[in-house]
Structure 1
Amino acid sequence: MLAETLTALAAAGGAAVVQAAGTDAWSGFRQGMARLIGQGDPERERDAARQLERTAALLAAEQGDDQARMLRQVEQNGVWRGRLESLLETLDDARRRQAAADLRALLQTHAEPAGGASAPGGVAANRDVTIRAEAPNGVATGLNYGGFVFSVPQLPDPHQG
């Protein structure tokens, strides 16, 4: 099991994949991420690059539908978080430390400016944020790199109007 800091780092890496896809920074970010995942194995690096391109294509395909796009972003964030967690778990201590340092450097190099949002209607905040979905078909999503409380509000009694 990974230390909490490495789990958070993998989560940041997953979010960075989603944020960078389709931007001007994508090419450099994709190359750096593929190199990190490949860990010196050219075939693994090529495979990672192909999977990153697949992610970018999936995200680009959802541009017209906000709800579908958000769901796809959450899905792909989880895919890449899991992939990075798996990578870090399989490495010995020395290689894990180096991979973590490489991932931090990649994220810092391609980090979004403070306070920016990665998608139309998105928000990045260093404060409390309330996310609410409106009935009947609303969807609420959020990415968080600290502690949070998730609650589902109770539906009003039908007799209350």
Structure 2
Amino acid sequence: MLSEALAALAASGGTALVGAMATDAWTVTRAGVSRLLKHVGPGRRDAIEAQLDANVALVERAHDPEQARQALAPVWQLQLTQLLEEHPELETALVDLTTAIQAALPAQHQQWVQTNIARDNSRLFAVQGGNVFYHEAPPPAGQERPSSPE
């Protein structure tokens, strides 16, 4: 199980990675991920790199590339989580890669990269460039809504 900090790093790295897909930042991103994967062995490295290439193609062909990126972000968060679980010594390398990706992203994609993490049964509301509308149904008759810890 990863620490909260490493889990947040995996989330941030996964979001940055998919944010770079099908952008001018992809060359920097692909090379950095390839360097990061040198620790996983050639068979797994080839499989992950093939998955990367296939995912970039999905984003390029998607009618809505942003929606495709949003769908792929959890996949790459999981990939990076597993990598950090197996190789926690890669933390610094992933921080450096995430920073390099974010710096290389075109301005319109730098805003796309956002990491929001909710823990311990908490609620998190986040939005970029829009509004949040929240509606909660009343509890069933005879039941009370659990109170929030303060």
**Distance in structure 1 (CA, Å) of the matches to 2:39 and 2:104:** 28
Question: What is the deviation of 1:145?
Answer: 3.3
Computed over aligned residues only, the root mean square deviation of the Cα atoms, in angstroms, reads 2.9
Q: Does residue 63 of structure 2 align to residue 88 of structure 1?
A: no
Deviation, structure 1 residue 10: 0.5
The one-letter amino acid of 1:149's match is F
Residues 11-160 of structure 1: pairs in structure 2 closer than 5 A = 11-39=11-39, 41-62=41-62, 65-66=63-64, 69-89=65-85, 91=86, 95-96=87-88, 98-112=89-103, 116-118=107-109, 123=111, 143-145=114-116, 148-149=124-125, 153-154=134-135
Q: Which amino acid aligns with 1:36?
A: L
**CA shift digits 1:58-83 (9 cap, x unpaired):** 11111xx33xx333211111100011
Whether the 8 Å contact between 1:20 and 1:29 is mirrored in structure 2 is yes
Report if aligned partners of 1:38, 1:48 keep a CA contact under 8 Å in 2.
no
Deviation at 1:44?
2.3
- Residue 114 of structure 1 deviates from its aligned partner by 9.5
**Higher mean displacement: 145-154 or 79-88:** 145-154
**TM-score when scaled to structure 1?**
0.64
Tell me the secondary structure at the aligned position of residue 2 of structure 1: coil
Change (3 A) 1:59 1:6: same
Name which structure has the greater RCO, CA cutoff 8 Å, separation 6+.
2
Q: Distance in 1 between matches of 2:59 and 2:14?
A: 13
Q: Which runs of 4+ in 1 moved over 4 A?
A: none
Are the structure 2 counterparts of residues 146 and 115 from structure 1 closer, same or farther at C-alpha, using a change threshold of 3 Å? farther
Q: 2 CA distance for matches of 1:32 and 1:153?
A: 39
Q: TM-score, normalised to structure 2's length?
A: 0.69
Which ranges of structure 2 fall in alignment gaps of 5 or more residues?
119-123, 127-131, 137-150
The count of aligned residue pairs is: 126
Structure 1 residues not aligned, in runs of 5+: 125-141, 156-161
Measured in 2, the distance between the counterparts of 1:53 and 1:153 equals 37
* Distance of 1:20 and 1:115 partners within structure 2: 9
From the superposition, tell whether residues 117 and 84 of structure 1 become closer, same or farther in structure 2 (CA, over 3 Å). same
